[in-house]
Structure 1
């Protein structure tokens, strides 16, 4: 030990003599190099000679003599907080400060010793993320969620609440797999495992839930089909993460852009399938009442990029109890009665000004209005984020109601309604919360936001892909292309 101290002292003296030389330069008119001796990790070894600059290792142990301290050799960092897993007191949840109030070796954020969010929204920022009235509870990077093959990115997201336990789970789609994360404790999410793709890597993977099963499709990868996964298997995971296999694979189609489910009827609708197929990419009707034995029952001609299907309970008495499909079909919105799967009927269609790409939309809860996002109008026409609202009180005669323009030029993607809030994933502008309580009067107002992509609000395809706002807990899960899963909650 004495030899080690003497060696460190000699090294420190040498470093001082080298680094301080510019301070005593005799040329009065030359700028002085104010070199600072840093010890970033506070272990008594200055950075210039420290073999592991960011983590305390005063003994400088280097068993394999590779010039990198042992503490930095084992540098896997699951939560990407800058602290390697082997010394992180909470390796699955970002906590760069390593706060451990009771000194038991487990970080406060993993013990639940505080109800405070990971980053409260204060002064317009939640840690590194711009915000308004929404706190960051936790973040799980896409590098954790996805299979390591290629350069994975995030795509769709959905949620499942276990009816037996009340636990809440995030189902996060990525370019090469679908991840399952227990988010019951939003401060301490647990990555349980993933289900790998059934056919290749792609940028569009979508997932929905019915009867405790996940249904997963992918676009642009040929024979993928529809994977079916029994979510109750997540109850039995004791040593995560697990590499899961599917419980069924429906292969009557290959590629599909999205999967839509009416949980009231037990039907799934695969949309955006092959344009050369029997329904030209229109919705395929799949009976999933027995989830692991899906049965095809026809389809509806005409390419649909996305859709919502409901058992109608709105203001138009002519269609009460009917199964109604609202298709976002590239250049128009189509309203169809799909109750009789052998004889689907178009009720009406509607378009609008400055069409870029009719992408996705959602009913208000009273079904009076349909809120639509056009994915490329910001690019084509130079407007800020535009949200189009239609009056659907008469399904035979839908009409344009109002345009809402957001505060940024970002592209809107997926949006969902819960109560009087429209939750809009807006790529580079993150998640935007829009108050629709005065929608009848033509007034929509942004009530909050959480920006998962702080680099910019540019008109480009980065950032927040989708959102699931339906957990009873009030926690909201967001999928981000580059950054993975965010769990946020409205500020108290």
Structure 2
């Protein structure tokens, strides 16, 4: 084994890819004391652009020539030195001086505030959120969309709701309309002088009684039960268009106190999060129906055991990929973060004896992502922070998976840095500078070929995952962007990607997405993961801890959770559930055989039962199967779990830890209860 071998093809390129800094560059860098921007702050209209000039100055305020800069925006785009405004709000442009490799001081940075004004609201559209007719004594929820002249939507507009006749129907400030008596009424919503409206003819309530049908009398924590409220007239006929209000009450088991919200009922769908007896209540005017459900513990916890550990304690570890090599043995590849461009290859055929077989170094500060094709033919490693700022991807030949060789380097259109990738047998999807993804034909790995790309407007991308010819790209504040790249249902192909839909999320931190077809229910879920590298505003904010821990330093603090979207109908995606463990933050995820394998940074590697229909917070429903925290006293940061990503493989769970390397764990079979 040669664990630190730099492959011949890479060594041949080192003189070109790692050019030595000139004395003039070193001298200029040594004199830089600060950065200055002109203007110091920007105010733009949505869609407007403005040039931002940045200079480096010395301690006396004199301009230092020959310094280059990196600029990126948070909430705005930066293109060739111009700031491009999208949505309204207060944002920032971050500027960093680029110093030559080997410079022994941290480059100065600058933050430029950017305020973006929205255009005026032109129209308001009002619609009912609930189905049914407005009868006296019933209620309907409403919402309104505020639109600009170009058709774009104003998020979270300040709306004023009014009723033309409150004696017939009143409306509260949230758009809830309550009907009181028969008659005609107009419900209006206004914003910035624009108004939208709906007209109702409130009718007398024809319901004599209400019944609840369906569901079950007994269930486990987390099981979703579906009830139907049936409204009956005096003659026993059904009245199908009556709005129904649902609610739930709860009596806990004798040994526990009730939490603030122990169960959820939403349009007849109920889930109990805590064991106890629940009463489901349906109301339509004066008519009330009740149903009782006994909820028992889910009982899915399994013991988990450590099987093996491939220690990396001299640098941060980034992503991993586990695969079967063409020689029939099992392997892993892991990247490094801020580690001078190293990627490590491991033999994991025996997970209890993980051993490093080889290493490859490329021109990069960080190898953030590593991927292997499903057929094990090639691997790809991403590059960020290359000395020549070309970055791109490095394609590896896995003919000898224990000792891969560089087949090619591709950087056209990828010079801004490749943060993440997705590999199929014939194509590689590679992110370009946080702006778009580029699709490469890698049927000939020694001659990769550009095929196409997709760039969503006014958006920043972090990751892309492809399933059944559909690309799901995670784009921070934009949410998930769904594109047909070969499925064909929306007319897309690998050569001509076609936009399908956008699933926005107000948290604004969409970092990863995993599409999952659930066989037991026929539903198609999207699991969307946040990445938030702070706990600002929380009672435990992590004061005194590091954002990015240094060797021998203190742990990081993070926040965020998994958002679960029912995407069965792509035209009508619905936010239905979450997995949130407070005081920790989510990173990469994997879903397989109704189990969520969640890398939860400081919260460890977590396995969660996601069987059946999903509703509410899974962390509160007894669905957690096991948790493993990778404490390592010899880690890059000692005893500081920071799980980056996990992958189930042949009965084991492999995961990478930012501070300690590659791990393998295994769930123990559940034992029979002692009788």
TM-score bracket for the superposition, by shorter chain length = 0.5 to 0.7
Indicate the SS of the match to 1:364.
strand
Look up the match of 1:207.
371
TM-aligned CA distance change 1:358 to 1:365, over 3 Å = same
TM-score, length-scaled by structure 2? 0.44
Q: 2:311 aligned with 1:157, yes or no?
A: no
Q: Is the 8 A contact 1:207 1:259 kept in 2?
A: yes
Partner in structure 1 of residue 568 of structure 2? 393
Q: Partner residue of 2:530?
A: 374
CA contact (8 A) 1:138 1:189 kept: yes
RMSD (Å) for aligned C-alpha atoms: 2.5
Alpha-carbon contact 1:205-1:219 (below 8 Å) kept: no
Number of residues of Structure 1 aligned to a counterpart in Structure 2: 318
* d(CA) in 2 for partners of 1:477, 1:153: 17
Aligned residue for 1:292, secondary structure, equals: coil
Q: Which segments of 5 or more consecutive residues in structure 2 lack a partner in the other structure?
A: 1-300, 487-492, 540-558, 634-639, 670-675
- Please identify the structure whose Cα radius of gyration is greater: 2
Alignment partner, residue 248 of structure 1: 408
- Structure 1's 203 and 160: CA in aligned 2 closer, same or farther, altered over 3 A? closer
2:461 is aligned with 1:304: yes
CA offset digits 1:308-361 (Å, max 9, x no partner)? 1122xxxxxxxxxxx2111110111111112224432211112234x1411001
Give, in whole Å, the separation in 2 of the partners of 1:379 and 1:439.
31
- Counterpart in the other structure of 1:13: none
- Give yes or no for contact 2:342–2:367 (8 Å, CA) kept in 1: no
Out of 313, 330, 335, the position equivalent to 2:482 is: 335
User: In 2, Cα distance between the equivalents of 1:352 and 1:443?
Assistant: 17
Map 1:80-479 onto structure 2 (within 5 A): 133-143=303-313, 152-165=315-328, 167-174=329-336, 175=339, 176-197=341-362, 199-202=363-366, 204-211=368-375, 212-221=377-386, 222-234=389-401, 245-252=405-412, 253-254=414-415, 255-263=417-425, 266-271=426-431, 273-274=432-433, 281-302=435-456, 303-311=460-468, 323-331=469-477, 332-339=479-486, 340-353=493-506, 355-366=507-518, 368-376=524-532, 379=535, 382=538, 385-406=560-581, 408-442=582-616, 444=618, 445-453=623-631, 463-469=642-648, 471-472=649-650, 474-479=651-656
CA separation of 1:410/1:441 partners in 2, compared to 1, >3 Å: closer, same or farther? Answer: closer
**8 Å contact from structure 2 (residues 470, 482) kept in 1:** yes
Q: Is the 8 A contact 2:343 2:367 kept in 1?
A: no
**Equivalent residues of 2:365, 2:384 under 8 A apart:** no
Q: CA deviation at 1:397?
A: 2.3
Q: Residue 385 of structure 1: CA displacement?
A: 4.8
The offset of 1:454, in angstroms, is: 7.3
Measured after TM superposition, the shift of residue 466 of structure 1 is: 1.0
Flag the 1:454–1:140 CA change in 2: closer, same or farther, 3 A: closer
Cα pair 2:474 2:513 within 8 Å, conserved: yes
Preserved contact between residue 308 and residue 664 of structure 2 (Cα < 8 Å): yes
Question: Deviation per CA, 1:447-473, whole angstroms, max 9, x where unpaired?
Answer: 111111479xxxxx961111121x22x
